[in-house]
Amino acid sequence: MTPPSPSSPRGFSRRTLLAASAAGLAFLATGCTSSSADEREQVTSEQADELDAQALAQVNEESGRGEGDSAEDLFLVDAEEGLTPTGLRLSAHFLLREFHCKDGTQVPAAAIPALKRLVNGVLEPMRTRFGKCTVHSGFRTDAYNRRVGGATNSQHLYHRTPSDVAADITFVNGNVSAWHSEAERLLGNSGGLGRYATFVHVDNRQQHARW
Ligand SMILES: [Zn+2]
């Protein structure tokens, strides 16, 4: 199947995207949001430590009840320092803290396996090609999603669809067209992929969704 032309994202013209982005409008159906609203808030490193600790406690509690994977299955363990020397590590280059909601809410434990799949299947291979990645938006609570104008059925709402998770990403090298093409190749005939003015949205839903 031929990937859609980068210059003509399906469903929205580039002009529409830019206009909607400028107005801070939500995109219907599959869209996430304008990036600018989401980037005004950040989690401090102290908050991130606390959110990691909460996520780890939740993982341990659930696996203790026989639900879900253990922390050792979900996170890379450093031989000398154990699980959390610099935060819970999903893969060689991605930390859980990059995906916590910017309103100070931890990634739900139930969504971490899907997040690990997204990171290993899409984000790490893209990082290999384009260099250091910035995650502009990962998990969003309902309230935070409303605040940034996200779609009500957004894959950023990890607590609603814990088996499908999303990330809005950029890289130090390349551009939106190159990132979009590579994500298209990696996702194949499934997952969600959205092209925005300054970033791409990727998610690992079962269906094929492009915008
Ligand atoms: Zn998004």
- Predicted pLDDT at 34: 53
**Confidence (pLDDT) at 210:** 96
Gap from CA of 167 to ligand 1 centroid (Å) = 6
Query: Which amino acid is present at 59?
Result: V
CA gap 88, 69 in Å, rounded: 15
- The residue-averaged pLDDT of 126-148 equals 97
Q: Tell me how far apart the alpha carbons of residues 53 and 149 are, in angstroms, rounded to a whole number.
A: 29
The pTM of this model reads 0.82
* Ligand 1 centroid from CA 66, angstroms: 32
pLDDT at 12 > cutoff 70: no
Q: What is the pLDDT of residues 157-201, one digit of tens each?
A: 999 999 999 999 999 999 999 999 999 999 999 999 999 999 999
Mean pLDDT of the chain: 85
Residue 13 binned pLDDT confidence (cut-offs 50, 70, 90): very low
pLDDT band at 16 (very low <50, low <70, confident <90, very high): very low
CA 81 – ligand 1 centroid, Å: 34
pLDDT, one tens digit per residue, over 30-56 is 567 655 556 667 889 899 999 999 999
**In this predicted structure, what is the pLDDT of residue 39?**
61
Q: Domains in the chain and their CATH numbers? A: 14-210 (3.30.1380.10)
Cβ–Cβ under 8 Å, residues 156 and 205 = no
Query: What pLDDT, on the 0 to 100 scale, is given for residue 42?
Result: 83
CA 71 to ligand 1 centroid distance, Å: 27
Cα(75) to ligand 1 centroid in Å equals: 24
Q: What is the rounded average pLDDT of the residues 62-70?
A: 92
Q: Which residue has the higher pLDDT, 100 or 45?
A: 100
Out of 32-41, 75-84, 102-111, which region has the weakest mean confidence (pLDDT)? 32-41
Give the pairing type, strands 208-210 and 191-195.
parallel
- Look at residue 58 in the predicted model and tell me its pLDDT: 95
CA of 3 to the centre of ligand 1 (A): 19
DSSP of 6-55: TTS-TTS-HHHHHHHHHHTPPPSTT----HHHHHT----HHHHHHHHHHH
Report the separation in Å between the CA atom of 208 and the middle of ligand 1, taken as the mean of its atom positions.
15
